[in-house]
Amino acid sequence: MTRKQVSQPDENHKGSGSDILHRSGNESSIDIRVITHNIRYATEAPFEGEERWQIRSPRLCSELVFNSMGIPETFICLQEVLHSQLVDVQTSLNGSAHVEWDYIGVGRDDGKQAGEYSPIFYRPSVFHVKKWRTVWLSETPEKPSKGWDAASIRIVTIGVFVHAKTGKLVLVMSTHFDNEGAKSRKESAKLILSNISFEATLEEFSVVLLAGDFNSSPDDGAYQVMTAPESAMEDIGVSIPKGRRYGNEMTFTSFGHVDNTPARIDFIFSRKSDHLEYATYAVLTNRFDDGVYSSDHRACEQSSNDCVVRSKARPMRTRNTKSSTNPNKKHSPIFDDSEFSINLPPVSPPDTQKDLLALHRRHKEFFGEDGPPETRRIHDIEQVQAASSLIEQRRISLRDGEELLSSFRLMAPCFPFVQIAQDATVPSLSKSSPFLLLAILTSASIKDPPLYHQMDHEFRRVLSSKVIVEGQKSLDFLLGLLVYIAWYPIHVNPRNNQSSMYINLAVGLAIDLGLDRELPNLNNFNAIRTEGLIENDEFTKAAKRAYLGCYYLSSAYCQGFGKPNNLRYSNVMDVHGESLLDEELLAPVHSMVKLRRLNEKITELHANKQLSDDPHLDSLNAELNVQIFITELQQWRDSTPDEISSLPYMALAERFVDLSIYSYELGFLRKPYRDHLRPQEKNAPIIQSHLTSCLDAAKRFFEYLLSLPEASLLGFTSAQWGLMVEATLVLSRLTFLMAANRGWDSATTRTNIPLVMYLDCLCYRFQHLSSTKTSSEDTNHPRNPDVLYVFKMLLASVKKSYERRVGNIKPESFVVQHGNTAGGAMGHCPIMDPSLSFYLNSPKDSTYGGSINVNEFAATEYQTSTTGMPLYHDLWATMTCNWAGEI
């Protein structure tokens, strides 16, 4: 297959804002030939008409030698190859001169040499193997196993090759599907497409090729999966014009006697987005004058000068989308006829002066004083910020964009309400969903603070221009908002309440699009872009997922960060969720919403709960509430498939609901936090059991969190960070309540409640994952710390305060002496930790808000509430910036 070189002049588009372009330049090419052949394994019991391998081998090997001659960039993909046959083929290809050919692949039975191979032969002088692996086509693809209804073990060999001359990457796969199991073939096709998508997130391939015996004719389910509109691949044998095809059409012939119905079941697929042009395609003969069949399959090949691979994929044309109210192109994130790029203008670093002054005024208002001396240096901070330089202009290239998109694909499973097609690329998204693409690139840049700030600035500019000023409404804008909100770094910028504003905007947009109804009202869509919103007079699945995503974020932020919930649960959500059940294993939206709703019901029950004058009645009601919610949680577990409930973000949420049942009943998560335990009732058996159950649930949460692979934390949304924060809050408050209730001293408390160990482990993980690297000898603050590093510093501050407070626990006393205070505030909030002022004070290019710079004060006296409950603060205050209101 050959792709012709096309030359187009560069077109430079200049202007402020988001310029997404498509530009073609000079191109280099590679000529690639692909041969695929099921060679029929060397059986000891041949069919009628079948010769033994010793007779077939010379004929088949000479075919491979002849058809690979003169084309150095040839890949030979074989199937049904036993190890002895593998040796014969390699020996014939190499001849006696030198080692010209090598292969990748293993025997399917044991992952070594037992059973059939699906090898890929290549010339090491032409292609270097960067990496390769074998995937078993089954539910356990990492080990030898049969899949679904397959009669035999089946595999796909996946190789990433580097072209020696050009350095271009080529992904080649050889596979053999099952001949009996229709479900196995269909699921195998899905699994291979998933692996193609996964590999594409790791590398930028110039071409992707898949060849083999699929045992699937064009009317079979597996072939239809491979060639479906949403598939990333296309059948070369169909794509190429008939005038360039040679030979037969049928690829399976049998040996002329048994099962002799010819069929087209061997294929070569290529990736659609590579936009290849093919020179020739052939199905070769497998029988000559002597009447000997070399195999019961015919070889398929792409002829000489098969594939010309450009340095960049052919430009994907985009429409010049213009606003109905403002046709000025520079405000649109889509430009046509050029290579993708985003030109980010220079911007000022985040101005946190307002945050500083507001927090300072709140401190002064609450405590009736001006605070510690450092809080009076606002003017000095203003001067430092005024001297900050601009973040320089930069250009996001296509390669940069694809890298960010690949990073986002690793994050995306944590928020299944927005789905990105497997074959989606930056150019294709810039055409179909430009605002969603901008949100994806913004969220994926969070680990690079200066870039994130510039992308965030651009996202908000486009949002205000298009949605707020021009009033545009579309599913693209809603999906982009959801992605932006989901990974909005509220956990390191707690004073910024814009997240609530964005949620309100998303909810309003969803309602304007009519998603709060079961069916669309077509009369209301005159001013709304309906692309992707409606299909066959119904809302699309993407639209339904988006509406449920609005509810999930609004509910999660309401509970975790003290925001108002402006989208209450309704029957429409059940209807939308149930309509998505057929894709639940791929996008477990319905299960996630049900779990979120259960957590919300727990919150609602306790929102305005007041204790009665009868402690015994209170205890009975508390036990009843706990049992009701435990039953509902168990019903969710029983109705949710293991494949869904075991997903990391789902399992973590389930464990947090279990923790919430007890922590709300004990008052730990109610706002404002009050004394819910009467001293005279501290030995009540129900309360005692709740304390123990709450501690067990907290341990279960943290132990699961710490059992997750480090990399899984990178995709956590703000809602999932919030679960970690609330669990830390619960365990902190539980510590002192249990210590007072059980009469523990500080040593016993540390032994029974391992919060310090949990925080140590989390800090270590965040430090290890952070791109901000420091050494123990480095006493200077790192420049532009990323999100993970800042969150690690916050947790370290909580740990320091917690350790001091635990050290001051007095046995048989509910009074806790706190190791540091600020004015009348007891306890320690990380926002008031002077050692964190650098990270929360937004140095130059950082993305984080400011903080008052305060000194630590040694505690000189006990401070308790009127009921004897200690007054202290913890991570909750950090997250909501309402630490004063919490006392």
Q: Which tens digit of pLDDT belongs to each residue from 465-517?
A: 888 888 888 999 999 999 999 988 765 555 455 777 888 899 999 998 989 88
SS (H, E, C) 15-50: CCCCCCCECCCCCCCCCCEEEEEECCCCCCCCCCCC
| Pair of tokens at residue 477 | 């804008």
User: Counting beta carbons within 10 angstroms of the beta carbon of residue 624, is it exposed (0 to 12), middle (13 to 18) or buried (19 or more)?
Assistant: exposed
Cβ atoms of 841 and 882 within 8 Å: the answer is no
Domain 33-302 falls under CATH 3.30.310.50 = no
pLDDT average, residue stretch 394-416: 88
pLDDT digits 0-9 by tens, 700-741? 999 999 998 887 888 888 888 888 888 888 888 788 778 777
Asked if residue 572 lies in contact with residue 516, where contact means CB atoms within 8 angstroms, the answer is: yes
**Contact by Cβ (8 Å): 273, 214:** no
CB 852 within 8 A of CB 706: no
Q: What's the pLDDT tens digit per position in 656-688?
A: 999 999 888 877 765 544 444 334 343 344 467
Residue extents of the structural domains in the chain: 33-302, 316-345+392-583, 353-390+711-880, 595-708
Tokens for 48, please give them: 């009628």
Q: What is the dihedral of CA 123, 126, 131, 132, to 10 degrees?
A: -30
Confidence of residue 95 (pLDDT cuts 50, 70, 90): confident
Question: Which tokens go with 309?
Answer: 């691979």
CA distance 42 to 112: 18
Burial class (CB in 10 A: 0-12, 13-18, 19+), 831: buried
CB atoms inside a 10 Å sphere around CB 4:
10
- pLDDT of residue 829 exceeding 50, the answer is no
pLDDT at 99: 66
pLDDT reading at 2 higher than 50: no
Mean pLDDT of the chain: 75
Three-state DSSP at 563 gives coil
CA distance 469 to 463: 9
Kind of pairing between the strands at 74-79 and 33-38:
parallel
Indicate if the pLDDT at residue 138 is higher than 70.
yes
**Cβ pair 708, 640 in contact under 8 A:** no
Whole-model pTM above 0.95?
A: no
CA 218 to CA 115: how far, in whole Å? 28
Is 514:383 a contact under the CB 8 Å cutoff?
no
Task: Of 12-26, 39-53, 228-242, give the lowest mean pLDDT range.
Answer: 12-26
Mean pLDDT (whole number) for 157-171: 92
- Which of 8-12, 153-157, 251-255, 556-560 bottoms out in mean pLDDT, i.e. has the lowest? 8-12
Contact 496, 355 (CB under 8 A): yes
CA end-to-end span of the chain: 73
Task: Say which residues have a Cβ less than 8 Å from residue 231's Cβ, sequence separation at least 6.
Answer: 193, 225, 272, 422, 423
As given in the structure block, the two tokens for residue 428 are: 């294709």
Q: In angstroms, rounded to a whole number, what is the distance separating the alpha carbons of residues 579 and 536?
A: 15
Pairing relationship of beta strands 300-302 and 281-283 according to DSSP bridges: antiparallel
Six token digits for residue 208: 């992707």
User: What is the distance between the alpha carbons of residues 357 and 688, in angstroms, rounded to a whole number?
Assistant: 45
Q: Are strands 233-235 and 820-821 parallel, antiparallel or unpaired?
A: unpaired
Instruction: Provide the 8-state DSSP code for 816.
Output: B
Burial class from Cβ neighbours inside 10 Å (0-12, 13-18, 19+) for residue 405 reads: buried
The secondary structure of residue 466, as a DSSP letter, is: I
> How many residues are given for the chain?
887
Tokens of 320: 């010049």
* Strand pairing category for 169-176 and 207-213: parallel
Phi and psi angles of residue 857, each rounded to the nearest 5 degrees, phi first:
-120, 140
CB of 614 closer than 8 Å to CB of 602: no
What is the 3-state secondary structure of 366-381?
A: HHCCCCCHHHHCHHHH
The least confident of 646-650, 667-671, 794-798 is 667-671
* CB distance 437 to 18 below 8 Å: no
Axis-axis angle for helices 378-386, 353-367 (nearest 10): 170
**Between the ranges 303-307, 439-443, 823-827, 864-868, where is the mean pLDDT highest?**
439-443
Round to whole Å and give the CA distance between 100 and 121.
10
